[in-house]
Amino acid sequence: MRNLIPSYVRVPVIFFTIFGLIEYFVDSGDKPAFLEHPIIMLFLILVLFILIAIEGIVGSIENILFQSLDQTAKDKYLASKAKTPQFKALSNIYEKLKGKQKPIEEEHEIILDHNYDGIKELDNNLPPWWLWSFYISIVFAAIYLVRFHVIGTADLAAEELEKEYAQAKIEIEEYKKTAKNLVDVNTVTLLTDAADLKAGQTIFNANCIACHMADGGGGIGPNLTDKHWILGGGIKNVFHTISEGGRSGKGMISWKNDLKPIEMAQVASYVLSLQGTTPANPKEAEGDLWQPVGTEDQNSNDTKTENETIEVENTVTVID
Ligand code: HEC
């Protein structure tokens, strides 16, 4: 057995088997284990070193034993060594795969008599591996054609893609539901949940009443209960104002570093829930009259309403 496989095959095979086993069993995350744990690298180098050393030692023992043999035994040993088939099985497979081709010396027997600008055709046997791949691809094509285009049990690539898109959209919606923090000025919607409004009120009382009063009546900041808005009404504009702040020098800072997106959505919704309430000391209305479209401002999918919304937005021209 030892003589069957030369050392330049044996050493790498054993080495990479050990390497593979380590990679399989050692949990090292994304990186290969030998990079993640330098000790493994050290171990592998050691393994390689020992393997080479073993080869060297066994080789020299063989050599010494050989020298101690008498002439007839030496001859016998050499003969047996020469006889050992090297890769017999492999070369058999190779021969089989190659098939029965005419050797170059006999090619003149199978050359066809047409001649294209000096290029001649040789009618040699095709190698079986090639021929079988060809047959298999024909069978494959037939099955594919019937399955995809005739009975249509399977989806074509484009349909598959569309389905995956649809599925992905559903998953994104699901994800957004659980990850409310993803809201931004484009996706924010008016929250009407009592819990959200309560949270909004808490945030408002903690951060905003110094300027807007607890009832939203206004002080340093404008009255938030009337229909007039300096920076635009509706959830998107209010969210934007809270997130980015008001006009510079007016005192309304940007809150996006202090409040999470969901918190800004909650406090914005709370602010809007104050619409129409009567504060104790209402500040005079400032800004333009904001006209909501439909049930809520920009959240309709209806094109007509959307156009109207854009008109309304234009008259307000606030977001800069
Ligand atoms: C330091 C005082 C101050 C604090 C604190 C403050 N605001 Fe304001 N707020 C203002 C001022 C001043 C304006 C007007 C900005 C302008 O004219 O550009 C304003 C404007 C606004 C507007 C827009 C009103 C409009 O008419 O367009 C909203 C909404 C608002 N604030 C919400 C909040 C919320 C919510 C908080 C708490 C997270 C808050 N503010 C905290 C002073 C403040």
Residue 112 lies in a domain: no
173 and 136 in a common domain = yes
CB-count exposure of residue 218 (10 Å: 0-12, 13-18, 19+): buried
Nearest in space to 247 (alpha carbons), one of 292, 210, 286 = 286
Nearest in space to 242 (alpha carbons), one of 132, 138, 151, 319 = 319
Question: If DSSP codes are grouped into helix, strand and coil, which group holds residue 88?
Answer: helix
The token duo for 83 is 């006889």
Residue 104 lies in a domain: no
Cα separation, 200 vs 76, whole angstroms: 96
Single residue among 31, 62, 84 that ends a domain in this structure: 84
Residue 247 lies in a domain: yes
Single residue among 54, 84, 114 that ends a domain in this structure: 84
| Number of other CB atoms surrounding residue 199 within 10 Å | 19
270 and 211 in a common domain = yes
306 and 294 in a common domain = yes
191 and 303 in a common domain = yes
Output the pLDDT for position 293: 65
Closest atom of ligand 1 relative to the 203 alpha carbon: 38
Nearest in space to 186 (alpha carbons), one of 251, 116, 132, 261 = 261
**Is the CB of 217 within 6 Å of ligand 1?**
no
173 and 189 in a common domain = no
**Cα 294 to averaged position of ligand 1 atoms, centre (Å):** 26
What's the CATH number where 240 sits?
Answer: 1.10.760.10
Cα separation, 150 vs 140, whole angstroms: 14
**Is the CB of 283 within 6 Å of ligand 1?**
no
Residue 223 lies in a domain: yes
198 and 150 in a common domain = no
**What sign does the CA torsion over 209, 213, 217, 223 have?**
negative
Question: If DSSP codes are grouped into helix, strand and coil, which group holds residue 113?
Answer: strand
Question: If DSSP codes are grouped into helix, strand and coil, which group holds residue 4?
Answer: coil
143 and 199 in a common domain = no
**Cα 263 to averaged position of ligand 1 atoms, centre (Å):** 15
Output the pLDDT for position 181: 74
Residue pLDDT tens, the chain, 320 long: 556 677 888 899 999 999 999 988 888 888 888 888 889 999 999 999 999 999 999 989 988 998 888 888 888 888 877 765 667 778 888 888 877 888 888 888 888 888 889 888 888 888 888 999 999 999 999 999 999 888 888 888 899 999 999 999 999 888 877 776 778 888 888 999 999 999 999 999 999 999 999 999 999 999 999 999 999 999 999 999 999 999 988 999 999 999 999 999 999 999 999 998 999 989 999 999 988 765 444 443 333 343 444 444 444 444 44
Cα separation, 298 vs 186, whole angstroms: 10
Residue 119 lies in a domain: no
C-alpha gyration radius of the chain: 41
Helix (H) or strand (E) holding 229: strand 228-229
Residue 230 lies in a domain: yes
The token duo for 188 is 């924010």
Write the DSSP string, 156-168.
-HHHHHHHHHHHH
148 and 195 in a common domain = no
Pocket test for ligand 1, best of 202, 211, 254, 262 (most atoms within 8 A of CB): 211
Residues of the domain holding 43: 7-72+79-84
Residue 113 lies in a domain: no
165 and 194 in a common domain = no
CA distances, 89 to each of 4, 9, 93 (Å): 11, 15, 6
* Count of domains for the chain: 3
Output the pLDDT for position 309: 42
Residue 117 lies in a domain: no
* Bridge partners (DSSP) listed for residue 229: 288
Output the pLDDT for position 156: 87
311 and 186 in a common domain = yes
Cα separation, 98 vs 105, whole angstroms: 17
Cα separation, 210 vs 45, whole angstroms: 69
303 and 192 in a common domain = yes
61 and 11 in a common domain = yes
Pocket test for ligand 1, best of 185, 204, 226, 241 (most atoms within 8 A of CB): 241
Cα separation, 320 vs 317, whole angstroms: 8
